[in-house]
Each structure stands twice: as C-alpha cells, then as structure tokens.
Structure 1
Amino acid sequence: MHITVYGAGALGIYFGGRFLEAGIDVSFFVREKRAVQLRREGLKINSIQGNFEKQNITIHTDPKKIDKADIIILAIKGYHLEQALPQIKEISKKTNAFILPLLNGVEHIQILQEALGKEKVIGGLAFIIATLDNKGHVEHTSKQHDILFGPLHEKQQNICKKLEIESEKINAKSYMKEDILAYIWKKYMFITAFSGITSAAQRTIGDIMGSRASLKAAENVLKEMKTLANKEGISLTNNDVVQAANQLQSLPKHATSSMHQDLRKGLPLEVEHLHGGALRIAAKHIETVPVIETLYGIIKTHENGTPQNFK
C-alpha cells in the first residue's frame, strides 16, 4: 500500500511518520516553503509514545509528479480545503486513490463527495494533541494518538480492510469502525466544546475546569451538538454527552485545544469550519444553539490570525 499524506502540519507529519516508521510506503504533498524545511530539517517526532526521525523522505509539491497512491490522508485545516481541492482531485483522478480526510467537523465530507464522488471519500478522524516547533518537528504531548476510519460507501470495504491490516503495524492506534459517522459526530461534539471554550476564554482546560460557570458553558455546547447530531440522523445519546464531559475533565490541566494554540501563535482559526458549520446545520433544522453562537461570535474576531501578545 502507498499512502500520500496531503499536508505536513503536526497531524500529517505525526501519522505519516508512524506509517513510515512501520516500513509502509509514504510520501508527503506539501507547499514549497514546507518542502524546503522538511528537506533541510528532516522528519522528526518527539513523543511520550516514542520518538522517530527520518531524513530524505519523499516530498512532492506538484500533483503531476505523483504517480502512485492508494490512499490520500488529508491532514489540513478546514479553511485550506477549498484551495486544496483542485490538487486533491488531480491526484485522486491520476492514481485512483481514495481520500481519508482527518479534518474536524462534518461539512468537508459532502464537499469532497461532490468533488470526487461518494465512493472515493472514506470516513475518518484523529485524536491527538501535538504541535510543530520552530524546526517543523512534531511535539506530541498526550497519550492519545488515534486514527479512526471506516467506509461511507460499499465500494470502500476492501481498501478499509487493507488499511486496517497496515494499521496493525504502526506505533499509534489506528482502527476501522463500520459506524464511522457516529464517531465523527462524537469528535465534532467534543472538539466544538473543547476548542470553543479554551479559545474564547484563552485559558487551558485546567483553568476551565476550575470554574463552574466555564465548565457549564462547555457542557452546554456538548448538549447543543448532540441535538444537531440527532437532527442529522446520528443517534448520539445523553450518555455520549456525559462521556465527552468526562473526557474534557480527564485531560491534563495544562492541555489546550489546537485552535487555542493557533490563537496564541496569531495563526488563522478553524472557527468557521467548526462553530460556523454547527450554526449552518442548526439553521437548516431551525434550531437554536445559543452557547455555540456566542462562542462563535467571540472567536470570529480572531479568525484571520491577528497576532496577540501572550505571556
């Protein structure tokens, strides 16, 4: 199996690196500037789950140069999808590759299906807290390093089974779920609360858990997201809300969301892809989600990456 990782942020480098570490054929499609850095500094993962580094990895910056791919792991931010779509289409058409998007949210699935065909877009998500240092190396600071994937179309069973076999070799938790949409929505519910409350408050999860009012706001986001999932035909339950709330409280006190990390760095934020997406789903079903709407309004002012001064 050959895997092409589209995107070389912390997510793409971490999981692409883990597949490489296991001896699987992996290449990376990246921007020119990132390609220069990767060629100079190499791929390196610093992780409590085990370090890994490799020089001279296969890097592409031109989709025309990619002649093989069974799966394209899409590891980009939601706000990059529109710009990336023509290149993804070109690579997939040339190689007949399936797409495994590891984006947060749900709107990207329909966008990709409309562009590539429903049979080509596998369901997927990832759980990891990681960032890049100034050399472009991954700093992975949590025990979680999970990929979940599963078929969204009957023609994907074979490729998902092949990926499941390859996944058994890697130093990460990567496994197949037949009901992948339910898991995507569980992640969407969790990340909307986690990213929303930490970014709006500009505090770590430990600070949030130390405030009953802040914790209640996060729990209310989970409840609102559960309602939206149910409206979309996904059977999330009150127990799923409780489990997500417990997951928030079980995180290390210093932990924070990738959105909050991006806010600290003055980078663009996925607020439109996550919270804006939830608001569009709510509008479709004539539902009100006041806490999500409030967090969206607060975070939206930072969407384009206005640099901030943080201690």
Structure 2
Amino acid sequence: MNILVQGAGALGAYFGGRLLESGQNVSFFVREKRAAQLIKEGLKINSPEGNFESKDVTVYTSPEQVKNIDLVILAVKGYHLDQVIPQVQAIVQQTGACVLPLLNGMEHLERLQEAVGKEKVIGGFASIIATLNAQGHVEHTSGGSAIKFGVLHNEQTEICEQLEEIHHHVKANLLREENILKHMWKKYIFITALSGITSAMQLPAGFIASTEATFTVAKKVIYEMSMLAKQEGISLAEQEVEMMANNLKGFKKDATSSMHQDMRKGLPLEVEHLHGGALRLAVKNHVTVPVIETLYGILKPYENGNPNLR
C-alpha cells in the first residue's frame, strides 16, 4: 500500500514513522518549513515503544508532486482544515486515494465528504500523547498509541482490510472498528473534557482529580457531550459515560492533553474545532451545554496562540 501522511506534526510523524519502520511505502505532504526540517534532520521517534530514525524521508509540498497513492492519512489540526481541503481534493482527483482523517471532533467528516465524495472518506481517529521537540523529533510520552478506523461506505471495505492486515507489523495499534462513528464520538467526548479542563486549569491532567470541584466540571463536560451524541443518533450506555468520566482520574500527575501542551508553547488551540463544534451541535439540536460554553469562553482568546505574545 502506498500511503501519504498529510501533516507531520507529532501525530503524523509518529504514525507515519511507525508505518515507514514496518516497511510500508510512506511519504509525507507538509509545508515548506517542515519539509526542510525533515530533509535536514530526518524523521526521529523517541518512544517507550521503541525508538526509530530514518534519514531517507520522501516529502512533498505541492499536490502536483503526488502520484500513485492509495491512502491519505490526514493528520493536521482542526484549524488547518480550511487550508488543506483544496490540497486533499487535488490529491484525491489525481490518485483516486481514500482519505483517513485523524482529526478530533466530528464536523470535519461532512466537510471532507462534500469535498471528495462520501465513498472516499474513512472514519477514524488517533490516540497518543506526543509532542515535537526543537529539532522536530517526536517525543512519545505515553505507553501506547492507536489508530482506530472503520468503513463509512461500502467502497472502503478493501482499503480497510489492507490497513487491518498491516497491524501486526507496526509498533502501534491499527484497529478496525465496526461502529466507527460511535468510537469517534467517544473520543470526541473525552478529549473535549480533557483538553478543556487541563487548558482552563493550565495544569496537567493529574490535577483533575485533586479537587472534587475540578473533577465535577470535567465530568459535566462528559455528560453534556454524551447528550449531544444522543441527539446525533449515537446512544451510549450509562456505564460507558461513567467509565469515561472516571478515566479522567487515571492520568499520571505530569500527563496532559495536546491542547494544554500547545497552550504552554503559545501555539494555536483547537478550541473552535472541539468546543466550538459542540456549541454548534447544541444550537442545531436546540439544547444547552453551559459548562462547555464556559470553557469555550475561557479558551477562545488563546485560539490563535497566547494573546500576550502577539
């Protein structure tokens, strides 16, 4: 399988690197600055799952350069979606590739389906705690990593089967799920609570459980998001919701969300993609989500980076 990873931040570089390590034909579509860094530094992963380094990385910076691709793994932040959709369109038109987006949230699915066709957009998401260091190398700090994916259209069955077969050769979990939309919603629910509370606290995830008041706020986000999921046709059992809430207590003291990591670096935040998306769903379904709305208001000034540094 010929795989193009679009975006080589921590997420794209990690999973692209693991696929490259397993012998897959992997290339990267990135911006000029990141392309220069990858060419100079190579791709390097520091991880408890095993380190990996490659100095021979194929990178593209314009859609016209991309040929003979079966799958595009879209690994960009939500706030880059508007910018990358024309690029994805061009690549899919040239190659006929399917697209596996690993973005958080749900709104991007419809946007991409409108751009390239429902038959081309596979459902999926990623789970990992990682960041890039100053050299652009991946620092993977959690003990595991996974991409979950699944068919959203009958024409995707073959490509999903091929991706499933790769799983045993990759030092990351590539897990095919039958009800991928439900799994995507569970990730969206959890990450909206985790990223919102850690960024609002400006403290690592280990502090969520340090006071009952803080945990209560995070738990209410879980419940508000679960209500939105139900409004969108995704039914979660009460014990599933409780388990997600209780999982917020299970982080090591220094572990944190990618949004909080970005906030500490003064980088843009996915607040519009996550919390803003939830608010739009609430309006659509004529319900209120006051805790999410409060977190959105707190974090919105940081959307384009630390306002004190602009």
Give the TM-score normalised by structure 1: 0.98
- Give the AA of the match of 1:213: A
Measure how far apart 1:68 and its partner are: 1.4
SS at match of 1:143: coil
Deviation larger for 202-211 or 282-291? 202-211
Deviation at 1:247, TM superposition (A): 2.0
Deviation sequence 1:141-178 (CA, Å, 0-9, x none): 00120100000111111110011001221000111001
- The structure 1 segments of at least 4 consecutive aligned residues displaced by more than 3 Å after TM superposition are none
134-143 or 242-251, which moves further after superposition?
Answer: 242-251
Separation in 2 of the partners of 1:15 and 1:226?
29
Q: Distance in 1 between matches of 2:268 and 2:237?
A: 33
Shift of 1:196: 0.3
Q: Distance in 1 between matches of 2:288 and 2:73?
A: 34
Deviations 1:32-68 (A, max 9, x none): 0001101111000000111000002111111101111
Residue 201 in 1 paired to residue 201 in 2?
A: yes
**Aligned counterpart, 1:265:** 265
Return the offset for 1:262: 0.6
Match of 2:275 in 1: 275
**What are the superposed Cα offsets for residues 112-158 of structure 1, whole Å, 9 maximum, x if unpaired?**
00111100000000100000000000000001201000001111111
CA distance in 2, matches of 1:174, 1:136: 24
CA deviation after TM superposition for structure 1 residue 293, in Å: 0.3
What's the counterpart of residue 219 of structure 1?
219
Q: Give the whole-Å Cα distance in 1 for the aligned partners of 2:173 and 2:247.
A: 17
User: Is 1:58 the counterpart of 2:58 in the alignment?
Assistant: yes
User: Which letter does structure 1 place at the counterpart of 2:119?
Assistant: E
Aligned to 2:9: 9
Question: Contact 1:226 / 1:237 at 8 angstroms: preserved in 2?
Answer: no
CA contact (8 A) 2:208 2:249 kept: no
> What is the one-letter code of the residue matched to 1:126?
A
* Aligned equivalents of 2:96, 2:145: Cα separation in 1: 28
Residue 240 of structure 1: aligned partner: 240
Partner in structure 2 of residue 83 of structure 1? 83
Matched AA of 2:201 = A
Q: Which moved more, 1:68-77 or 1:166-175?
A: 166-175
Q: When the two structures are aligned, how many residues end up with a matched partner?
A: 309
State the match for 1:101 in structure 2.
Answer: 101
Mark the runs of 5 or more structure 2 residues left unpaired by the alignment.
Answer: none
Q: Is the 8 Å Cα contact of residues 190 and 222 (structure 2) preserved in structure 1?
A: yes
Aligned 1:283-294 pairs, distance under 5 A: 283-294=283-294
1:175 counterpart = 2:197: no
Partner of 2:230: 230
Partner deviation per Cα, 1:50-106 (whole Å, 9 max, x = no partner): 100000211111110111111100000000000111111101110100000000000
Aligned-residue identity in percent = 59
Amino acid at match of 1:245: A
Query: Could you say what the CA RMSD is over the residues aligned between the two structures, in angstroms?
Result: 1.0
Distance 2:275 2:134 in 1: 29
1:157-168 paired onto structure 2 within 5 Å: 157-168=157-168
Q: Could you say which residue in structure 2 is the equivalent of 1:123?
A: 123
Q: Secondary structure at the match of 1:4?
A: strand
Residues in 1 aligned to 2:248 and 2:307: alpha-carbon distance in whole angstroms: 27
Q: How far apart, in 2, do the equivalents of 1:288 and 1:24 lie?
A: 46
Residue 200 of structure 1 contacts residue 295 of structure 1 at CA under 8 Å; is this kept in 2?
yes
Alpha-carbon displacement from aligned partner over 1:224-255 (angstroms, at most 9, x marks no partner): 00000000001122212112123221121111
- TM-score when normalising by structure 2: 0.98
CA–CA separation in structure 2 for the residues paired with 1:218 and 1:29: 36
Counterpart for residue 252 of structure 1: 252
Distance 2:89 2:167 in 1: 25
- Unaligned stretches of 5+ in structure 1? none
Distance (Å, rounded) in 2 between the aligned partners of 1:289 and 1:197: 15
Aligned residue type for 1:135: Q
Distance in 2, matches of 1:107 and 1:88, equals 16
SS at match of 1:174: strand
